[in-house]
Amino acid sequence: MSLYNEICTSKMFFIAGPCVLDTDSNADKIAQKIVQLKEKYKIPFIFKASFDKANRQAVDSYRGIGFEKSAEVLSRISKEYQLPILTDIHESCQAELVSFADVIQIPAFLCRQTDLLLAAGKTNKIVNIKKGQFVSAEQMLDSAKKVLSTGNKNVMLTERGTFFGYGDLVVDFRNITKMKKAGLPVIFDATHSVQKPGAKGSTSGGEKEFIKSYACAAVEFGANGIFMEVHPEPETALCDGPNSLNLVEFEDVVSSVIKRVIGA
């Protein structure tokens, strides 16, 4: 069974990993926890990580370990732990470069970029399009159609919160239900949805105490999957630490969501 079919037929699946790669050790710790939970609950898990965080606020913000090293690490994680890999791209030319990825993610700010969506679609990989904070659920269906126009039917949509004024996000859970009308898997990004962009000046803050409640609420609105940023030590993470879960918190959220979905 293909990964996309597995996702579509599963009662729940999870996408989890660091915002952006930092060390091999941290990537291994996260992958090991994901494998443990995958074996325990017998549902799909996807390891996610950016190779380049190109949309950081400040010019000197940490962006990653570089493409070549990231490709090496993610390829190793895929083979060693038998985990599918998700990474995001910011330019059309990167679509063909991420051969190690099973899922290509389109960042929220780029969800209307036609050339980027078409390039991702032409790879025939699964394409996960994050909903821009500036578009409606209905408008996201047009983004999906751009990928579908390439003949690639493996498309997913992700809700990640909408800007409310400056430095905060608000989640309209109705977007999940509305986007599901497209007949595509819909994911809820439970960690970016608690982000407070620019709350720390040149970096983002977050209110991660709401992550579990948000994830469980998303299930009630029909989310097929939950996306979470995870780090062994969020307090030392070089990107998105304030809205990342440590490994214990990650397992707690997964357990709570699964209990709601399948009564495990």
pLDDT at 264 over 60: no
Residue labelled with tokens 């109705």: 174
pLDDT at 202: 47
Reported as a single tens digit per residue, the pLDDT across 231-254 is 999 998 887 778 899 999 999 999
Q: Indicate the average pLDDT of the chain.
A: 91
Q: Which two tokens stand for residue 178?
A: 């509305």
pLDDT at 87 over 80: yes
pLDDT at 260 over 50: yes
- SS3 for the chain, per residue? CCHHHHHHHCCCEEEEECCECCCHHHHHHHHHHHHHHHHHHCCCEEEECECCCCCCCCCCCCCCCCHHHHHHHHHHHHHHHCCCEEEECCCHHHCCCCCCCCEEEECHHHCCCHHHHHHHHHCCCEEEEECCCCCCHHHHHHHHHHHHCCCCCCEEEEECCEECCCCCEECCCHHHHHHHHHCCCEEEECCHHHEECCCCCCCCEECHHHHHHHHHHHHHCCCCEEEEEECCCHHHCCCCHHHCECHHHHHHHHHHHHHHHHCC
From CA 56, how far away is CA 61, in angstroms rounded? Answer: 6
Reported as a single tens digit per residue, the pLDDT across 135-160 is 999 999 999 999 999 999 999 999 99
Percentage above 70 pLDDT, the chain: 92
Reported as a single tens digit per residue, the pLDDT across 48-72 is 999 987 665 556 565 778 999 999 9
pLDDT at 201: 47
Domains and CATH numbers, the chain: 3-262 (3.20.20.70)
From CA 26, how far away is CA 32, in angstroms rounded? Answer: 10
pLDDT at 208: 86
Reported as a single tens digit per residue, the pLDDT across 171-184 is 999 999 999 999 99
pLDDT at 166 over 50: yes
pLDDT at 55: 67
pTM comes to 0.93
